Structure 1
Amino acid sequence: MTQLTANPNSPLSDKTISHTSTSLNSFAPRLLDWFETNGRHDLPWQQHQTDTPNPYIVWLSEVMLQQTQVATVLPYFARFMNSFPTVQDLAAAEWDEIAEHWAGLGYYARARNLHKGAKQLVAIIDETGDFPQTLAGWEAISGVGPSTAGAIMAMGLHHYGVICDGNVKRVLTRWAANDGDITKSATTKELWALAERLTPEQHSGLFAQAMMDMGATLCTRSKPACLLCPLQEDCLAHEQGREEEYPVKAKKKPKPSKFSNALLIQNSADEILWLQRPDNGIWGGLWSLPLEFIEKIDGKAVANKPDNKIMTEPQLDVRSNEKAYETEFTTAEQIINEWLNKNQLVAESVSATLFDNAPAPIKHSLTHFHWYLTPQQLTLNTEQSQELTTALQAAEINVNWLNSNEAQATLGLPRAMVKILQ
């Protein structure tokens, strides 16, 4: 067994943990012995097998891995490293290029923070000659929280660092049978104290990677492989047969739903109008079809023809009042909506000529709501498309007329837009 000692200086309270000091001190050695044989050692951002770690690689991977699985991240990471092999390359890149590389990975604020953070890091390197060397230095970088900073310190610099991300919290709540709500600050504080107590002062980077692997491969959300776990002998949740009851998390309220028409506005060359979204808000800086806000209103009584029974159907109504503009429409979409109304033009279902019923909306789930997007098509003549373009450009709005293949190849498109095109 690896001879390592957990950090005895952590502020862990006796009330926080029921394990003996022997269990606490043997946690890291058992985990690292397991990791040496069974852990993942071939991920492209791992730095535990090198004598000269690269914090840029770890920082980039940690940002990408936030709320995203390794399998999803791998091709994006490879592409980023190919295009932006150094933090200086990333800082010097134009936002459109970064957005195109990130498109489809989701949680787009991460990409904005990454670009901003790269510029901050380059300024620090220019001033000091190196990346930040302290936890506080990394936490000052845009988008970097305590766990990400700890991971960079431990794995990217081979200094002492502690992580307590989602995977780690799951392992710890089960091992300690901590039944506190992990969305509450008090529980988070307890888990951080436990993570600090268990993290060895030496090889904390190895320990961080081992904890990540444990949560990703054995101590999974459902059906954890407890019989293979090196910690099972003193895992309190396993002892109680309640592994899947942890971590405890308050039941979320059902997500609200929003509805929009996605306007496929085409010109005479079969090119589609694309708008660049504002930097702030959903899909900031990416390219999207114009969206038309729809408000779901109360049901309407209609007759059911077969038996003449009255039944209620949900109705969708396009609203163009100021409140809707303020909360849902970008400036570009307001201009388009007003221009269409002025010219008495209406987009129709893309399959209206083929089917009696319009296609079902495409459901796209975001962090805080479900979004139902219904494709609507409208073809403009040369004069109309030029007039609309001029109106948008007069408001300094970035527009592009590209066909489907060109847009997917050259623009940073949200995954929802790709779904619509497909």
Structure 2
Amino acid sequence: MTQPTANSIPSETNFNHSTTSLNSFAPRLLDWFAENGRHDLPWQQHQTDTPNPYVVWLSEVMLQQTQVTTVLPYFARFMESFPSVQDLAAAEWDLVAEHWAGLGYYARARNLHKGAKQLAEIIDETGDFPQTLAGWEAISGVGPSTAGAIMAMGLHKYGVICDGNVKRVLTRWAAIEGDITKSATTKTLWALAERLTPVDDSGRFAQAMMDMGATLCTRSKPACLLCPLQEDCLAHAQGRETDYPVKAKKQPKPSKFSNALIIKDTDGKILWLQRPDNGIWGGLWSLPLQFIEKVDGKANTKATVKKTLASDDKPSNTANDVRSHEKVYETEFTTAEQIIHEWLIKNELVTESVSKSLLDDAPIKHSLTHFHWYLTPRSVTLDNKQITALSTALQAAEINIHWLTADDARATLGLPRAMVKILEQ
């Protein structure tokens, strides 16, 4: 969705506030921000005459669905290793992935790297960063709110933001009842955000709105008594602050189950696979995974988990159930994992539980955006001949692999947080 234009904004009669309230919104907010806002974040540009759009873009991408305290050390490390967009564009993906590992939502990192290459080309051609909203929205992973933030804070031009923090502030202040996941509500919020944003000071206003949502108008227990907008906040007047924003209840997340195979040699080096660029953990390094089919038990009273091939049991017809569901099998297994799966069967190798508890299985719960993932670590040790054979099979399929100890993998590879959890067992 693009930002609204002046011609698309509803008349003020469609807003829930008087013209006086609408006009005084920004001055009140900016006065509060001057005294109480955050002014020491490393990416902030509202106190400089020569703003740097690179640091604003980088921080905005990192801050998507991630808290400031989490982002701070990652931002510092990125700026140390990639002080300019050209440095980021020239970096190898593995190095970028290593710097991002643990921050989550890994598609952001892929888009960041791709976007850096796009920006470097634009700068080579024009001598500068994009100078328009449309120019920034053309960069990989940059949506209308991020583009508006870069325009406002990174270039000190006019830009409007309407991210999660802003939507929370506006839906409460204007008592907007519509579901914020619906396009009609989104259009209303964008229109209100544009109406409130001062043309001459949109950068400070954007930072102030972010601070308001992050420090006062929080999801739970908003600090209304400290809010400069409380006198005409409709949600506050109704005593319904936490009823906003209105959002349809999410369906419960489904669960998936996998074995995480720790395939190692006698020296403790472990097999690591680079995940495909598309899909979960794209471009990062992972242990081989085995999908476990969850089926209903008798009378649907309790779910059971069928063991896959290469489990403590010898290969059996039950194990072959995983292979028989071709659609599931092909969806859940990468090419590398299919090769490993078949190779373990052929060599009649079994994996063992690495649980330190009395239970045979100790799944690690790792929650992603759309599902919960339960990962059970299982281990098998190969001799030198077997390692050579398996490595050859994977390399013949042009699979990127490494044999590294757990410590070396943590130090040199971009590992998803779930893999780090497994290594900590």
TM value normalised by structure 1:
0.94
Q: CA deviation at 1:9?
A: 7.6
1:19-418 matched pairs, under 5 angstroms: 19-299=17-297, 314-318=304-308, 319-321=322-324, 322-351=326-355, 356-418=358-420
Q: CA deviation at 1:277?
A: 0.2
Q: CA deviation at 1:300?
A: 5.2
Structure 1 gap ranges (5+): 1-6, 302-310
Is contact 2:89–2:113 with CA below 8 Å preserved after alignment? yes
Q: 2: CA distance between counterparts of 1:27 and 1:136?
A: 28
Q: Classify the secondary structure of the residue corresponding to 1:358.
A: coil
Q: 2: CA distance between counterparts of 1:252 and 1:216?
A: 23
User: Residue by residue, what CA displacement relative to the aligned partner does 1:57-104 show, whole Å, maximum 9, x if unpaired?
Assistant: 000000000010000000000000000000000000000000000000
Q: What is the identity percentage for the equivalent residue pairs of Structure 1 and Structure 2?
A: 80
Q: Classify the secondary structure of the residue corresponding to 1:270.
A: coil
Q: 1: CA distance between counterparts of 2:328 and 2:396?
A: 23
Q: 1: CA distance between counterparts of 2:14 and 2:107?
A: 35
Q: 1: CA distance between counterparts of 2:368 and 2:44?
A: 30
Is contact 1:174–1:235 with CA below 8 Å preserved after alignment? yes
Q: Classify the secondary structure of the residue corresponding to 1:202.
A: helix
Q: What's the C-alpha RMSD, in Å, of the aligned pairs?
A: 1.5
Q: CA deviation at 1:316?
A: 3.1
Change (3 A) 1:8 1:260: closer
Q: 2: CA distance between counterparts of 1:155 and 1:9?
A: 24
Q: 1: CA distance between counterparts of 2:6 and 2:204?
A: 19
Q: Classify the secondary structure of the residue corresponding to 1:29.
A: helix
Change (3 A) 1:8 1:129: closer
**Quick check: 181-190 or 377-386, which moved more?**
377-386
Q: 1: CA distance between counterparts of 2:228 and 2:131?
A: 33
Q: CA deviation at 1:324?
A: 2.6
Q: CA deviation at 1:356?
A: 4.4
1:8-23 matched pairs, under 5 angstroms: 11-14=9-12, 16-23=14-21
User: Residue by residue, what CA displacement relative to the aligned partner does 1:125-167 show, whole Å, maximum 9, x if unpaired?
Assistant: 1111100000000000000000000000000000000000000
Q: 2: CA distance between counterparts of 1:193 and 1:295?
A: 47
Q: 2: CA distance between counterparts of 1:359 and 1:16?
A: 58
Q: CA deviation at 1:10?
A: 7.3
Q: Classify the secondary structure of the residue corresponding to 2:15.
A: coil
Output the amino acid matched with 2:340. I
Q: CA deviation at 1:325?
A: 2.6
Is contact 2:292–2:306 with CA below 8 Å preserved after alignment? yes
Is contact 2:175–2:244 with CA below 8 Å preserved after alignment? yes
Is contact 1:9–1:197 with CA below 8 Å preserved after alignment? no
Change (3 A) 1:395 1:231: same
Output the amino acid matched with 2:418. A
Q: Which residue of the partner structure matches residue 306 of structure 1?
A: none
Q: CA deviation at 1:12?
A: 3.1
Change (3 A) 1:220 1:384: same
Is contact 2:12–2:19 with CA below 8 Å preserved after alignment? no
Q: 1: CA distance between counterparts of 2:196 and 2:357?
A: 62
Q: 2: CA distance between counterparts of 1:119 and 1:235?
A: 44
Is contact 1:300–1:314 with CA below 8 Å preserved after alignment? no
User: Residue by residue, what CA displacement relative to the aligned partner does 1:366-389 show, whole Å, maximum 9, x if unpaired?
Assistant: 011100000001111111111101
Output the amino acid matched with 1:384. Q
Structure 2 gap ranges (5+): 309-321
Q: CA deviation at 1:268?
A: 1.6
